Amino acid sequence: MLISREKTRKILNEDEMITMMKELGFRVIVATAEEARNVNKFANTVNSCSVLVGAHGAGLTNELFLPAGAVMVQVEPLGLEWAAANYYGNPAPTMHLHYLRYKIEPEESSLVELYGRHHSVITDPESVYAKGYREVKAMYLDQQDVRVNIVRFRKTMLQALKLVKNAPLTR
């Protein structure tokens, strides 16, 4: 399942991502916020999936509904390392899930187009964090979209495929 974001932290080349995942043999379900409104139905759909993919955001809380042994793949935008790890990565093993992190490169972030490759927003996220949460939210959560490097992301999806084909974790 691919969690499709519609406002912020969108995956700008989502169609290319879907094509690549299908080429690897995945049956891709694209989930939108609208579809997630019926929690019971959506939870059952997520529970039928072996892999959940999405950019950092609230939609990834649906990892709660994944079956044991499933894989959660988080596309991690710039400047969100702590939140990505603490909200989704670190809890995954306690839910008997495999976790894969796809940390984007600066060139995969829309922030490079807005600020330039050598701006502190890109090179020194700590300086943005020093200005407080409002600044962090504005820069990394609200302004940032992602254009995934398909060749590099393919390697992550091959890892996910290998994990779901191997022995599952148990609850």
- Establish if 18 belongs to a structural domain: yes
pLDDT digits (tens, 9 = 90+) for 46-85: 999 999 999 998 888 999 999 999 999 999 999 999 999 9
Q: Point out which residues pair with 55 in neighbouring strands.
A: 75
CA angle 164, 59, 122 (to 5 degrees): 95
How many structural domains is the chain composed of? 1
| Tokens, residue 17 | 């991502």
Distances, alpha carbon 37 to alpha carbons 59, 60, 62, 88, 101, in Å: 11, 14, 12, 21, 26
Structural domain including 33 reads 2-104+147-165
CATH number at residue 52: 3.40.50.360
pLDDT digits (tens, 9 = 90+) for 37-57: 888 899 999 999 999 999 998
Percent of the chain with pLDDT over 90: 86
